[in-house]
Amino acid sequence: MLQSLEIELTSNKKQQPAADQLGFGNHFTDHMFIMDYSTDNGWHKPRIQPYQPIVLDPAAKVFHYGQTIFEGLKAYKTDDGRVLLFRPHKNIQRMNRSNERLSVPELNVDVVIEALKQLISVDKDWIPTAPSTSLYIRPFIIATQPQLGVAPSTHYQFIIIMSPVGAYYTEGVNPVKIFVESEYVRSVKGGVGEAKTAGNYAAGLKAQEIAKEKGYSQVLWLDGVHRKYIEEVGSMNVFFKLKGVVHTPALNGSILDGVTRNSIIQLLKHWNIEVIERPITIEELYKASQNGELEEAFGTGTAAVISPIGELNWQDDVLIINDGKTGELSKKLYDTLTGIQMGKLEDPLGWMVEA
Ligand code: COI
């Protein structure tokens, strides 16, 4: 399917940053993948080319109506030099669900995985190997038709860029402080909350900015209708351990179906730890804490993997979780998941795909 892939290699390789200078999403590898779409030709002209700016018409629909989708996944290099991708099919399948919601044409999952493997093979020297580092892969689609009518675009570009990354939060796997957002909402059921589309992230910036000013790393999002059910934390799914049982908000149409969320649920079940997906109110969480039942809280996502929550502030009521320390289960989940991803631990659920 990708027989016509053109590869243009750069003659001007960039200097790679030191592992301790990576941060998140600041540096990009030497090459990128691009493929075009038109209603007449479908997806066509797959190519790998030197990483470079793209030229778009100022009237391109992506700028005006936000018709755009993205994904995030990671590749790792093992001690014996193999390159492993974590559940890449899940991300591309989710991309197609987002595409469907945003009236963007479907991608062939196998073609995208093949493109990804080829791109990684061209830039494999960019995969960092220091602890807590990886190659973050950002596939995305933009609507490129230069036309101002509100209607699905007739032209798109699918692009993959890659970034060697360190920890997403400067706290790493240390607990973050979270502000419970009561004024703004991230999304509502029936909207685009379960799609990985730019607008959901733009909608969150204001609250994030305010939380930062107050000394918090991120916000905890409540539902847009009742303003009482917990949805997500920052750009992550969220879990709570209450009396030995793990609870996470059920997918309800406004919550992103996280690949890490799904993996944590599977891993917990594999360990015979009970996991319940259900609506959870912020009030019951505070009550559970008062009763000594709230043992741990953590966010899950591709970027940060597991991010323990040490403190919540809901309308000036401050709740400290597990003495503000990383919980035992959060740590075990982080160590196990990153161990599997880096090829250091057995992969009991068959998640890793060799690139
Ligand atoms: C993730 O954790 O995968 C995210 O969605 C964060 C990303 C937007 C940087």
CATH number of 176-326: 3.20.10.10
CA atoms within 13 A on the CB side of 279: 11
To test the pocket of ligand 1, the residue of 165, 236, 260, 337 to mutate (highest count of ligand atoms within 8 Å of its CB) is 236
- Position 3 scores a pLDDT of 66
pTM of the model: 0.96
State the complex-level ipTM: 0.93
Can you give the residue ranges of every domain in the chain? Answer: 6-167, 176-326
Distance from C-alpha of 249 to C-alpha of 298, rounded to nearest angstrom? 12
Ligand 1: residue whose CA is nearest its atom 3: 302
User: From atom 8 of ligand 1, which residue's Cα is the shortest distance away?
Assistant: 235
Residue 337 neighbours by CB distance under 10 Å: 20
- Distance of alpha carbon 75 from alpha carbon 49, whole angstroms: 20
What's the rounded Cα separation, in Å, for the pair 234 and 220?
6
Smallest CA separation from ligand 1 atom 9, residue: 303
Q: Which atom of ligand 1 is found nearest the CA of 258?
A: 3
Q: Which CATH architecture has domain 6-167?
A: 2-Layer Sandwich (3.30)
Q: What are the DSSP calls for 85-127, one per residue?
A: EESHHHHHHHHHHHHHHTT-PPP-HHHHHHHHHHHHHHTGGG-
- Using CA atoms, how far apart are residues 326 and 331, in angstroms rounded to an integer? 7
Q: Which helix (H) or strand (E) holds 264?
A: helix 259-270
CA 304 to ligand 1: nearest atom: 2
All residue ranges of the chain with pLDDT < 50 are none
pLDDT value at position 115?
97
Topology match between the domains 6-167 and 176-326:
no
Can you tell me the distance from the alpha carbon of 329 to that of 312, in angstroms, rounded to the nearest whole number? 19
- Cα–Cα distance measured from residue 60 to residue 236, given in angstroms and rounded to the nearest whole number: 30
Distance CA 132, CA 350 (A): 21
Q: How far is the CA of 220 from the centre of ligand 1 (A)?
A: 15
Question: CB within 6 Å of ligand 1 — which residues?
Answer: 72, 235-236, 301-304
The model's pLDDT over 128-137, given as tens digits with 9 standing for 90+, comes to 999 889 999 9
